[in-house]
Amino acid sequence: MPDKRLHRSLSQKMIAGVCGGLAEYFDIDVSLVRLVFVAISIASALIPMFIFYVVAWIVIPSQVTPPPQAGDKGNQSG
């Protein structure tokens, strides 16, 4: 089982990759995470979720290397 760690996504980012990283960590669609984030932001008058996003941007480390793309077989020699 691979080591599952939370990180900011490099491949699923719009601003800082926080929602993309959460979607990858929980193995759910990134659009769903973004929609939930926007819905909670609107319901809570935007300020608390904006603060959460900025704190998450600072605290969650960035992904070191991009994940392999679908269909990428890697380096196969021989």
Cβ atoms of 8 and 17 closer than 8 Å: yes
Residue 7: pLDDT over 90: no
Q: How far is CA 63 from CA 7, 17, 19, in A?
A: 5, 9, 13
The three-class DSSP label of residue 8 is strand
Burial class of residue 57, CB neighbours in 10 A (0-12, 13-18, 19+): middle
Residue 78: pLDDT over 60: no
Structure confidence by residue, pLDDT tens digits, 18-76: 999 999 999 999 999 999 988 888 888 778 888 888 999 999 888 887 666 766 555 55
pLDDT of residue 40: 86
The three-class DSSP label of residue 20 is helix
